[in-house]
Amino acid sequence: MRVSSTARAAGVVTLVLAGLLGSAYVLGRSLVPDQTPRHPTGVITGADGPHYADQPSVAEPGDAPNTSASTSAGPAEAGQDGSGRDAGGDNLFGAHSTTGTPRLALTFDDGPDPRYTPEVLAILREYDVRATFCVVGENAQNHPDLLQSIVNDGHTLCNHSWHHDVGLGARSADAIRSDLLRTNAAIRAAVPNAPIVWYRQPGGAWTYPVVSVARQLGMTPLHWSVDPSDWELPGASKITATVVTQAEPGSVVLLHDAGGDRQGTVEALRRMLPDLTARFELEALPTDPT
């Protein structure tokens, strides 16, 4: 059977189109960036260590459900107004969001971190300021020397869960208790006599079970009233401006000394302390909260 010239031409065109489509697919795949692996409890892993996602913008497969509180610590996503109150006026299951005194408290979450925690400690030492460090259990275990430095400088410790589990409050009471006890054990392995009387839920995702278990273990739930969202890396100037303009007597200021690039926070701390120390008495939260 003879093939017409029209049929031969159509066949050539088909082959050419198939080749072009195949090349386009390969090129497109090469341009798609690799997805950073994300731990199902809010830890983004990377070559330089854990990065804690305080405010994940979307739920990832495998994330723990949280029906009682948002997984975000930012006011816009958590439905909070930045004052430590729900937008609807409800309290955070009794979590403290102020010091209860005219004094102001600086708090640092997610550490200790060998890159930034020593810088934060040096600046606080320079201004003779005591603060509260909400430490992650896995980091406490990995950097016991930094925990010792924190305690030796007179700062207060706070349990911040084992690996920054934003969804911890939605788990069973036994799972919550195991996580908090594991974190306390890592802290006490480094600083056996240091009191651990505060607990801060990652992401501010408070639920009744996590508050209840923390209290049963002798820890007072700790929220905040001033949040410059330094986890978003807005830069030192914006972090400084937010803190110095929103700070008032009794404020609990949320900052981070780990969990990502915190150089902006370190620089902001150096800028804000002259103003804060001139206007307030700064304190480490007490080790005997009432």
Q: Quote the pLDDT of residue 34.
A: 39
Which of the following is catalytic: 39, 51, 96, 109? 109
**Residue 69 in this model has a pLDDT that exceeds 60:** no
Least confident of 40-54, 110-124, 141-155, 273-287: 40-54
Supply 235's token pair. 């830069």
Biggest distance spanned by C-alpha atoms of the chain: 99
Q: Across the chain, what does the average pLDDT equal?
A: 79
Which of the following is catalytic: 155, 163, 164, 256? 256
Q: Does 54 or 224 have the greater pLDDT score?
A: 224
* Eight-state DSSP code of residue 84: S
Q: Quote the pLDDT of residue 39.
A: 36
Buried b (16+ CB within 10 A) or exposed e, 211-246: bbbbeebebbbbbbbbbbbbbeeeebebbbbbbbee
Read off the pLDDT of each residue in 226-255 and give the average, rounded to a whole number: 98
**Residue 195 in this model has a pLDDT that exceeds 80:** yes
**Residue 225 in this model has a pLDDT that exceeds 60:** yes
Q: What is the pTM of this model?
A: 0.74
Q: Quote the pLDDT of residue 288.
A: 84
Supply 124's token pair. 């606080």
Cβ atoms of 172 and 204 closer than 8 Å: no
Q: H helices of the chain, where?
A: 5-31, 75-78, 117-126, 137-142, 144-152, 173-190, 208-216, 236-246, 263-279
Q: Identify whether 256 is a catalytic site residue.
A: yes
Q: Quote the pLDDT of residue 208.
A: 96
pLDDT band per the 50, 70, 90 thresholds, residue 49: low
Least confident of 74-83, 97-106, 204-213, 232-241: 74-83
Least confident of 24-28, 135-139, 232-236: 24-28
Helix (H, G, I), strand (E, B) or coil at 199: strand
Q: Quote the pLDDT of residue 1.
A: 45
Measured CA angle at 123 (ends 271, 115), to 5 deg = 105
Q: How many CB atoms lie within 10 A of CB 199?
A: 25
Buried b (16+ CB within 10 A) or exposed e, 124-153: beeeebbbbbbbbbbbbbebbebbebbbeb
Q: Quote the pLDDT of residue 95.
A: 95
CATH of 43-279, one of 3.40.50.2300, 3.20.20.370, 3.90.190.20, 3.20.20.70: 3.20.20.370
Distance, in Å, from the CA atom of 205 to the CA atom of 41, rounded to the nearest integer, reads 12
Buried b (16+ CB within 10 A) or exposed e, 251-273: bbbbbbbbbbebebbbbbbbebb
Read off the pLDDT of each residue in 274-284 and give the average, rounded to a whole number: 98
**Residue 286 in this model has a pLDDT that exceeds 70:** yes
Supply 64's token pair. 């723990």
Q: Quote the pLDDT of residue 78.
A: 33
Q: What is the phi/psi pair of residue 193, to 5°?
A: -100, 5
